[in-house]
A and B are shown apart, each in its own frame.
Chain A
Amino acid sequence: MLLTLITFSSFAIGPWLVWLLRAPRRHLTPWVALLPAVLFAGLASQVPAVLGGQHPTEAWHWIPSLGVTLALRLDGLSLLMALLITGIGSFIFLYAARYLADHPDQPRFFARLSVFMGAMLGAVLADDLITLLVFWELTSLASFMLIGFKPEDPASRRAAQQGLLITVGGGLSLLAGAIVLGSAAGTFRVSEILTQGPALAAHASAPWVIALVALGAFAKSAQVPLHAWLPNAMVAPTPVSAFLHSSTMVKLGVYLLARLNPVYGDHALWTSLLVTAGLATMLTGAVLSLRQTDLKRVLAYSTVVSLGTLVLLLALPHPLAATAMATFLIVHALYKACLFMVAGIVDHEAGTRDTTRLGGLARRMPLTAAVALLAGLSMAGLPPFVGFVAKELVYEAHLEAAASWLPVAIAILANGVMVAVAGVVTVRTFWGPLRPTPQTPHDPPAAMWLGPVLLAVAGLMLGVAPGLAGGLVNAAAEAVAGHAAPTSLALWHGLTPMLALSVLTLALGAGIYQGWDRLHRVLKARPAIDRHGPDAAYDHLMRGLQRLATWQTGVIQSGSLRRYIGATLVVIGLAVGTTLWARGGLAWPTLDGALSLHALLPALLLLATAALLRAPNFMPGIVAAGMAGFGLALVFLFHGAPDLAFTQFSVEAVAIVVLLAIVGRMPFATTDARSPGQRRTDALIAAGFGAVATGVLLSVLASPFDQRLSDFFRAASVPEAHGRNLVNVIIVDFRALDTLGEITVLALAALAAAAVLAGTRPRPASSSPVEEPPR
């Protein structure tokens, strides 16, 4: 029950925040941080059990007929991710309470943030591929709403759409991969797939699964060339960048790859895909980060580098790689969330986050500077910070794997750039000559510095005593590697080759930092990167899509309702008629007892049809069509289908009233404006379709009636569903899911129609739209 509560409480509470945090209760906002904090405590209570080798699991029936379960499971990897999500989430909530204090839409922001957190928890706790996928897509949707938090800004709209299309497109690929994997394994349960292990990698479907899953994960974790959306997402408010786009959501792709690593880790395609993507991403991110001047975008590209590092680590064959990956996951989340919040503080207090306009801020905001320095040193991988521990591990994994010199070289270059970025974000911004900024900065209130301070201190603490996280790291590494990989984390390893590489990295980083401005100018002077990069390709693609849509709309949508109906009838009539004729289904029923009093009804129907054909304009036409409808309802009534008759009567009644109302408002021509040729064509279509329908109905009557379904419903209705009206029992019980789908479509159609119609009616400014009640 605990895992279910942890997953769904954010969804249950989130929407109410819109109401709860409204104007008179605005001062309650900081207390929202209790939600992630309580969830963190709940997860922390499970740490001893998980470290003891237990895997708390909860499973609820969802779609048992398809083998889909709402299953949640806690192992080392999911616990680590969930703790990061809720732990960093607590600080982000607190921070955002202050950061967006003046924003009118703050309650809605928190509702979206809570829904995101719930989706994220669901995705990492899921023990079922389909469950995972649903939450995965929910994180994309939540991210869309959070990036697009300022919908009046075109850049915000574009970034939100780009992020959504790329991650959801990846999600589609993942869906296909999950289905192929599920059918190959015979189960969607992740834990059962993992027990089958490498045997699945030998299955014929393996290359498909790997390619499809990797594409989904790469899109989510911003691997080259699908990385463009992540830096663009920096238009979102800083708490979103710190939470979604550095420490949690973008790690989801890495998480999924790590999840499946025990199965496919030894597959050649898996290794080559991950190595290629990881290296390319590290290199691209490192180079592109040098072109930026916006603090947040610099940090975003360094996140891209880190994501590449994580993906590369997964593909390294050495057991130490899993430990290095788990450690780096924690380290990166700690310092990156912290630095983003620092960037947000600088932006908030100084009024700009342009690195060329910032400097010497330490004099004005000493506390923020100290925090930035602590996090920056961890990012640069200097002892005694946990960043150093992680970097040593990464280098050790590289050297032990000893595949070739290229990955090591790229890793050193990427880490050198990380050192330089850390320098730019901290040293350059806070020390040196004080530069004038739009606002006079000072340290922010406690709600904004508390999180960064604690995260930075945690980075230092875990560096001095890395054993504190050792158990969790080992448990996570075991889940990633598929077998126990106990390593004791230590700050000091002695004079090792890794230490030499670290020194080399620092020297390189210092060099890049010194030449930052020159490098920046050189790289900025290459507009080809902007013109031919994936970001530009995305725009080309979108423009192409719009042109295609315009062309297709012009071809298909003539705008004439009469043509649409004509085309629909011709297609249906031809398809059905050809099938009936070609398959030899035409038959003539016996008409015993057909001539009775009921034969009067068809006469009524014929009369109504004749009246419809003779109708000079819409008014009598509608009445005549209604008459035909009522006649049909009578047929139903006399043939033992009172429910159908009832519904038909009501539909006809509503239809006539609504149609009359429409005719009263819309500028319809009072007389028939068709040419004689058009009239002949329409008559031909109508007659042809009528003939086909008649043929079908006669043939249906001629074939013997299959009683099985009716027998089942008749037998099961009262004992199982406690109702004697079969039709209604089917609607609300036996096929309730269909009904749910239908009323959803009905409601959405009404909403869509309302949106269209609201635009067509001239309206005085004072009247209230349908969505808001008159108060």
Chain B
Amino acid sequence: MNALILRVAGRFLLPMALLFSLYLLWRGHNEPGGGFVGGLVAAAGFTVYALPRGRAALLAALRWPPAAVAGTGLLLALLAGGTGLLAQAPFLTHQWVLTEGGLALGTALIFDVGVYLAVLGAVTAFVSYYLDEETA
């Protein structure tokens, strides 16, 4: 698939989609958003970018193989859940650090990053097989 409009649009859409996805991920705990939507938006950005460019371009843009991205996501989610065990609480009991400014940082964010990566990795792994081999 080689379309000029898609090629040019993809170049601008990818960074914007990534920024937006991170914004969604970050605000997710208090405002609409979250790791799942964030991962989907990022995956959409990568897909649009890669459609006219081919599989090699997708893998290059991702830096890591999609399966590794998904695996890292699973591992992060597991580790975030494991911190509960260290605190003598059941698995997946999130731990929190509350700052003065009212900002609450917790392992829930790590878990959500895990969800984000798992979704991103799964979708891109799937998509990568429908892309042209070499169109660079």
Contact A643 B37 (CB under 8 A): yes
Assembled-state Cα–Cα distance A664/B56 (Å): 18
A647 partner, pick from B36, B81, B121, beta carbons under 8 A:
B36
A642 partner residues in chain B, CB cutoff 8 A: 32
For the complex, is A152 an interface residue (Cβ under 8 Å from B)? no
Would you give the 0/1 interface string for A660-687, flagging 1 where the beta carbon is closer than 8 Å to chain B?
1110110000000000000000000000
Assembled-state Cα–Cα distance A739/B111 (Å): 10
B17 to chain A, nearest CB (A): 10
Assembled-state Cα–Cα distance A733/B89 (Å): 14
Contacts of B74-110 to chain A: CB distance below 8 A: 74, 77-78, 81, 85, 88-92, 94, 96, 98, 104, 106, 108
Contact A658 B73 (CB under 8 A): no
**Which stretch of A255-263, A342-350, A740-748 is in the interface?**
A740-748
Assembled-state Cα–Cα distance A771/B65 (Å): 6
For the complex, is A537 an interface residue (Cβ under 8 Å from B)? no
Q: How many A-B residue pairs have C-beta atoms within 8 angstroms? Tell me.
A: 192
A746 partner, pick from B51, B56, B94, B122, beta carbons under 8 A:
B122
Contact A661 B47 (CB under 8 A): yes
The answer to whether A761 and B129 touch (CB under 8 A), given A61-B85, A751-B67, A771-B67, is yes
For the complex, is B123 an interface residue (Cβ under 8 Å from A)? yes
Closest residue of chain A to B60 (Cβ to Cβ) is A774
B29 partner residues in chain A, CB cutoff 8 A: 722-725, 728-729, 732
A743 partner residues in chain B, CB cutoff 8 A: 73-74, 77, 114-115, 118-119, 122
Assembled-state Cα–Cα distance A749/B63 (Å): 22
B118 partner residues in chain A, CB cutoff 8 A: 743, 746-747
Contacts of B37-76 to chain A: CB distance below 8 A: 37, 40-41, 43-44, 47-48, 51, 55-56, 59-60, 63-68, 70-71, 73-74
A727 partner residues in chain B, CB cutoff 8 A: 32, 34
B71 partner residues in chain A, CB cutoff 8 A: 747
For the complex, is A646 an interface residue (Cβ under 8 Å from B)? yes
Assembled-state Cα–Cα distance A60/B104 (Å): 27
Assembled-state Cα–Cα distance A60/B88 (Å): 7
A725 partner, pick from B31, B81, B122, B134, beta carbons under 8 A:
B31
The answer to whether A772 and B122 touch (CB under 8 A), given A62-B91, A732-B111, is no
Assembled-state Cα–Cα distance A727/B33 (Å): 9
The size class of the interface chain B forms with chain A is 35 or more
Contact B33 A725 (CB under 8 A): yes
A749 partner, pick from B36, B81, B106, B122, beta carbons under 8 A:
B122
A60 to chain B, nearest CB (A): 6
A774 partner residues in chain B, CB cutoff 8 A: 56, 59-60
For the complex, is B22 an interface residue (Cβ under 8 Å from A)? no
Assembled-state Cα–Cα distance A61/B70 (Å): 28
Contact B37 A650 (CB under 8 A): yes
Contact A657 B77 (CB under 8 A): no
For the complex, is A763 an interface residue (Cβ under 8 Å from B)? yes
For the complex, is A750 an interface residue (Cβ under 8 Å from B)? yes
A722 partner residues in chain B, CB cutoff 8 A: 29, 96, 98, 104, 106, 108
For the complex, is A770 an interface residue (Cβ under 8 Å from B)? yes
Closest residue of chain A to B73 (Cβ to Cβ) is A743
The answer to whether A654 and B92 touch (CB under 8 A), given A754-B126, A774-B59, is no
Contact A653 B44 (CB under 8 A): yes
B60 partner residues in chain A, CB cutoff 8 A: 774
B123 partner residues in chain A, CB cutoff 8 A: 654, 658, 750
Contacts of A58-114 to chain B: CB distance below 8 A: 60-64
Would you give the 0/1 interface string for A630-669, flagging 1 where the beta carbon is closer than 8 Å to chain B?
0000000000001100110011011001101110110000
A664 partner residues in chain B, CB cutoff 8 A: 1, 130
Contact B127 A658 (CB under 8 A): yes
Assembled-state Cα–Cα distance A210/B23 (Å): 58
B10 to chain A, nearest CB (A): 11
Contact A773 B114 (CB under 8 A): no
A660 partner residues in chain B, CB cutoff 8 A: 51
In the complex, besides A737-B91, A747-B122, 5 extra interface pairs with C-beta distance below 8 angstroms are A654-B40, A657-B48, A725-B29, A729-B29, A732-B94
In order of increasing CB-CB distance, the 5 nearest A-B pairs are: A750-B122, A650-B40, A757-B129, A722-B104, A723-B29
